């Protein structure tokens, strides 16, 4: 799949066709980050990192995903693309599937939609709905819950990126998250990728972006889910 920049980012008032002078291609890697893996390539404590799954040089994450969360993580070797994906000013929507304790209520979903107060301030209105259990892989290790416990799934889309925001939002409405999977970032989806698998896509960047030689920041943003 090839994505034009204007298709991917809110606030862009047009897309840049390949025939326009100055357009160049940037490479994006879509990774299904497994549970228990850090969103970085090195760790002094010996924990699992992206190095196990991504061997291509000079690719770094555009944003983060917590060690105990799973799903879509984007990596690129182009600094301007990394900035456009990760920076909160771009308001790029991120969609999550959250398995929560209990049978989620319409009142809780409505509170998520309207926005709620967390300890670091109010959240923006989100898209929230209950969904059937998605056809996803078994988590290793599995979540911990008793045999007779009831759980349900929420699809939640936000345009923010605070520390562990989705988990804090569901807990604030009375339904703590047991399992969290990021399913999409903007137009990019996890598709059929299994844990540890990745695929390559191309993005058209305009001439106004930094030159292709620009490398992404090795230090990923601290925004986590």
Q: Note the pLDDT tens digit of each residue in 192-217.
A: 999 999 999 998 877 554 444 455 65
Residue 220 lies in a domain: no
Residue 212 lies in a domain: no
Instruction: Show the tokens assigned to 185.
Output: 């970032």
**Domain total in the chain:** 2
Assess whether 54 and 117 both reside in one domain: no
Which structural domain, as residue segments, surrounds residue 190?
2-90+186-205
Assess whether 83 and 100 both reside in one domain: no
Distance CA 79, CA 38 (A): 21
* DSSP state at residue 67: T
Residues with catalytic roles? 66
Residue 84 lies in a domain: yes
Assess whether 101 and 172 both reside in one domain: yes
Residue 10 lies in a domain: yes
Assess whether the previous peptide bond of 221 is cis (omega < 30° from 0). no
pLDDT digits (tens, 9 = 90+) for 142-164: 998 776 789 999 999 999 888 89
Distance CA 85, CA 76 (A): 10
Give alpha helix (H) positions in the chain.
5-8, 79-86, 106-114, 165-172
Assess whether 66 and 172 both reside in one domain: no
Q: pLDDT grade, residue 27 (50/70/90)? A: very high
- The pLDDT assigned to 95 comes to 98
- The pLDDT assigned to 10 comes to 36
Is 138's pLDDT higher than 80? yes
- The pLDDT assigned to 208 comes to 56
């Amino acid at each position: 799949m090839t994505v034009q920049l204007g298709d991917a980012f809110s606030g862009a008032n047009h897309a840049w066709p390949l025939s326009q002078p100055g357009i160049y291609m940037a490479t994006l890697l879509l990774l299904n980050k497994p549970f228990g893996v850090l969103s970085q390539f090195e760790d002094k404590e010996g924990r699992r990192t992206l190095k196990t799954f991504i061997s291509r040089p000079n690719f770094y994450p555009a944003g983060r995903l917590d060690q105990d969360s799973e799903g879509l993580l984007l990596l690129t070797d182009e600094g301007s693309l990394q900035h456009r994906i990760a920076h909160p000013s771009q308001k790029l929507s991120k969609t999550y599937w959250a398995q929560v304790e209990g049978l989620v209520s319409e009142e809780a979903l409505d509170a998520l939609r309207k926005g709620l107060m967390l300890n670091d301030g109010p959240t923006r209105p989100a898209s929230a709905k209950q969904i059937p259990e998605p056809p996803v892989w078994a988590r290793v290790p599995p979540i911990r819950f008793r045999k007779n416990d009831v759980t349900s799934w929420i699809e939640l889309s936000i345009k923010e990126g605070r520390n562990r925001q989705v988990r804090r939002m569901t807990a604030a409405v009375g339904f703590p998250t047991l399992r969290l999977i990021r399913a999409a970032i903007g137009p990019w989806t996890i598709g059929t990728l299994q844990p540890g698998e990745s695929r390559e896509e191309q993005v058209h960047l305009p001439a106004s972006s930094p030159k292709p030689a620009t490398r992404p920041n090795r230090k990923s943003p601290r925004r986590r889910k």
